[in-house]
Amino acid sequence: MNLPEWKHTLERILENISNIETLLETTTEESFLNDLKDYNAICLEFIQIGEKVNQIPESVYEQYPDIPWHELYGLRNRIVHGYEKVKKRIVWATIVQDLPNIKKQIESILSQ
């Protein structure tokens, strides 16, 4: 059975989340806030997630409103266009508080 293209996009988003999880294995909050390398690597993954979210049809957003689609794309925009204004602690909070739930929700969608 062929998956719709947007489900392939969700699989690729899960790969980005997995990359963030791998980076977190050697990244603490302190290193994220103070080490440009850790911060940049994780922000690149969020940029890619935002790009992929933007490829998903609006009808999917409506079907799965619990996923913060617009916020993920908004974070991408903030990183790309307002880099100096990005609050590192907000990005860290997104990683720690929101990303695990987003991952579970996407995995749930893909298992349907």
Q: Does the active-site annotation cover 81?
A: yes
**Residue 106: which domain range?**
5-111
pLDDT at 52: 98
**From 12, 78, 81, 89, the catalytic residue:** 81
46 Cα distance to chain centroid: 5
Q: Is 76 exposed, middle or buried (0-12, 13-18, 19+ CB in 10 A)?
A: buried
**From 12, 76, 78, 89, the catalytic residue:** 76
Per the structure, the count of domains in the chain is 1
pLDDT at 87: 86
pLDDT of 31 strictly over 70 = yes
Distance, in Å, from the CA atom of 6 to the CA atom of 91, rounded to the nearest integer, reads: 25
pLDDT of 1 strictly over 60 = no
Angle (deg, nearest 10), helices 36-53 and 69-81: 130
The answer to whether the CB of 50 falls within 8 A of the CB of 69 is no
Residue in the structure block whose two tokens are 């204004």? 85
- What is the mean predicted confidence (pLDDT) over 85-92? 87
